[in-house]
């Protein structure tokens, strides 16, 4: 019985690693299918973990939004104006 306990103590880090990998694969599958559990898990971890590049992230989001607005405003021009300009 003692050898079984020692064997389990030796395997504990590897079993933990395999369980973590399984969890990551499962969450990736859920995220691809947009399951609520994966979204809730992601939102929860986003709240509790600090973002080391918060300022850079915010600037990138603002820049992307501006590009989308410019593209949308460019697409809203009437076709006659596009044909005259091009």
Residue 86's pLDDT band (cuts 50, 70, 90): very low
Residue owning tokens 């080391």? 52
Judge whether 80 lies within some domain.
no
Residue 38 CA from chain centroid, whole number: 10
Q: 42 with 31: CB under 8 angstroms? A: yes
Give the pLDDT score at 79.
57
Enclosing domain of residue 29: 2-75
Residue 78 pLDDT grade (very low, low, confident, very high; cuts 50, 70, 90):
low
User: Which of the four pLDDT bands, split at 50, 70 and 90, describes residue 46?
Assistant: confident
Residue 69: Cβ within 10 Å count = 10
Q: What is the domain count for the chain? A: 1
Q: Is residue 15 included in any domain, yes or no?
A: yes
- Average pLDDT in the 25-30 region? 92
d(CA 7, CA 5): 5
Taking residues 34-63, report their average pLDDT: 84
Residue with the two structure tokens 């973590």:
20
């Amino acid at each position: 019985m003692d050898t079984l306990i020692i064997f389990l103590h030796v395997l504990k880090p590897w079993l933990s690693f395999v369980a973590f990998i399984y969890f990551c694969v499962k969450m990736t599958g859920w995220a691809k299918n947009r399951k609520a559990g994966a979204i809730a898990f992601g939102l929860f971890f986003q709240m509790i973990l600090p973002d080391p590049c918060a300022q850079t992230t915010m600037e990138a989001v603002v820049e992307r939004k501006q590009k989308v607005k410019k593209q949308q405003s460019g697409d809203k021009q009437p076709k006659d104006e596009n044909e005259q300009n091009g």
